[in-house]
Amino acid sequence: MAVKSLPAEFYSAFLSDAAKERKPSPIRGLYPLEARPGVISLLAGKPNATTFPLTSVKLTSRSPADPSKEIETEVSGQALAEGLQYGPTAGIPSLLEWVYDLQQREHGRKKGEGWRVSIGSGSQDVIYKAVATMVNPGDAVLIECPAYAGVLPMFQALHCDLIEVETDAQGIKSSSLRSILQNWSENKPKPKVLYTVPYGCNPTGMTATLDRRREVLALAQEHNFIILEDDPYYFLYYGNAARYPSYFSLELEEPEVGRVLRFDSLSKILSSGIRIGFASGPEPLLQAIDMHTAVANLQTSSLTQAIAFSLLDAWGYDGFKTHTETVSRFYREKRDVFEVAMRRHLSGLAEWSTPEAGMFFWFKLLLVKDGEEGDSESIIRTKAYERGVLALPGTVFLPRGGKTAYVRASFSLLGEEEVEEAVKRLRETILEARAQ
């Protein structure tokens, strides 16, 4: 059955005033015309690439299928020329094609069916531009609570009315979302967006269940908002159950698609320093994001895109999948080590749910005093640090601030001995806090 997309006009209500004011770049829009055979272009202020000294970039990577072997590849010739020069705003064609193929395989979304991709300098870049493209100062924004601390300043700088949606071990609580929306004051403009991290949420480590995803999507239809699906931990899912479909995939079940703007990242699977992420979603929104890029930084580095593509192309999709499976197994083992230490040292002192994706434990310090849950802020920021362990007090992830007994601990980097020592130090800190 053909996919029916929401019409382009639908999105004008979802664009910020700034995005509506932004004019397309008078030069970048004409680049494709240079490709017509016989055209002599006097158009772009591109430097002459014959003056660039790089002649090739040689890459060696561990083979996904057999890490004892190395795969060699090279960015040279036409691919290098493309990597060294200014390129299209949305990304270099070869990497864009790889992403379209990935989104079809992973999420069932076919190229040309009303959606588009834009490559950013990490997903943070395209998330920031999406927010700037959709949200006006003072707008109400639905945001899961706790939320990734890296997006909060985006909304806070716009003085948004951050509407916290509760989360639990099944991810974002659709019942809480429903009640917020049902009780929405009639004279207050409705929220245009909901921000959520569905796999291995940062900071809670939790993954949204299929039921929750379905209910949130139904609410997006009913109450007319766009889901900002920030999913950098998608490939770091290591749960026993089959993977849940993304919102981007689930919306194919709806009569009309186009309510999901999805963000992916290569940071956790290829390299965080390579700075490649991508936004996938409705064409009009992606176009507006590109217009922001054309003003802000022209494009994401062509060279890092060419390097990433060269590697991914040499591996093939199967190699890529094998690699992501190896990475997710790695984090599962790290999770297990951390949890063993937590059970050993923090039983009765802290409470947590076991993450099935990502790299975080979110645990509650059991500090209850006079019926109050307590606050992890000074205990973690000061007392734990004095004992030589550094973690994040939960308050930094609360969109509207406030007290919480929760703490975020990242288990991505440490070996067994360090984990043991860190968790012991946490134990001593909590015991001391409880004694006071």
Residues contributing to the site for ligand PMP (CB under 6 A)? 122-124, 148, 150, 197, 202, 230, 232, 265, 267, 272, 277
Nearest-approach distance from CB 374 to ligand PMP, in angstroms? 26
Nearest-approach distance from CB 233 to ligand PMP, in angstroms? 7
Secondary structure class of 432 (helix, strand, coil): helix
Question: Which residue type sits at 283?
Answer: E
- Smaller CB separation from ligand PMP, 124 or 429: 124
Structure tokens at 303: 């060279």
- Smaller CB separation from ligand PMP, 179 or 272: 272
Nearest-approach distance from CB 232 to ligand PMP, in angstroms? 5
Exposure class string for 100-131: b at 16+ Cβ within 10 A, else e? bebbeebbebeeeebbbbbbbbbbbbbbbbbb
- Smaller CB separation from ligand PMP, 197 or 257: 197
Q: Which residues contact 356 (CB under 8 A, 6 or more apart)?
A: 200, 205, 207, 237, 238, 239, 240
Cβ distance 320 to 106 under 8 Å? no
Categorise residue 200: left if φ over 0, alpha if ψ from -120 to 50, beta otherwise.
left
Nearest-approach distance from CB 324 to ligand PMP, in angstroms? 15
The DSSP-derived string for 388-415 is: T---EEGGGG-TT----SEEEEE-SS--
Secondary structure class of 107 (helix, strand, coil): helix
| Total length of the chain | 436
- Smaller CB separation from ligand PMP, 11 or 148: 148
Nearest-approach distance from CB 187 to ligand PMP, in angstroms? 33
Nearest-approach distance from CB 300 to ligand PMP, in angstroms? 11
- Smaller CB separation from ligand PMP, 204 or 429: 204
Cβ distance 391 to 430 under 8 Å? no
Nearest-approach distance from CB 129 to ligand PMP, in angstroms? 12
Peptide bond into 203 cis (omega under 30): yes
Nearest Cα to 88, choosing from 298, 303, 306? 298
- Smaller CB separation from ligand PMP, 91 or 232: 232
- Smaller CB separation from ligand PMP, 129 or 425: 129
- Smaller CB separation from ligand PMP, 11 or 128: 128
Nearest-approach distance from CB 358 to ligand PMP, in angstroms? 8
- Smaller CB separation from ligand PMP, 84 or 172: 172
Nearest Cα to 422, choosing from 388, 395, 383, 377? 388
Nearest-approach distance from CB 286 to ligand PMP, in angstroms? 17
- The residue at minimum Cβ distance from ligand PMP is 122
Q: Residue with structure tokens 């994040």? A: 392
Angle of CA points 407, 408, 414, to nearest 5°: 130
The radius of gyration of the chain from alpha carbons, rounded to an integer in Å, stands at 23
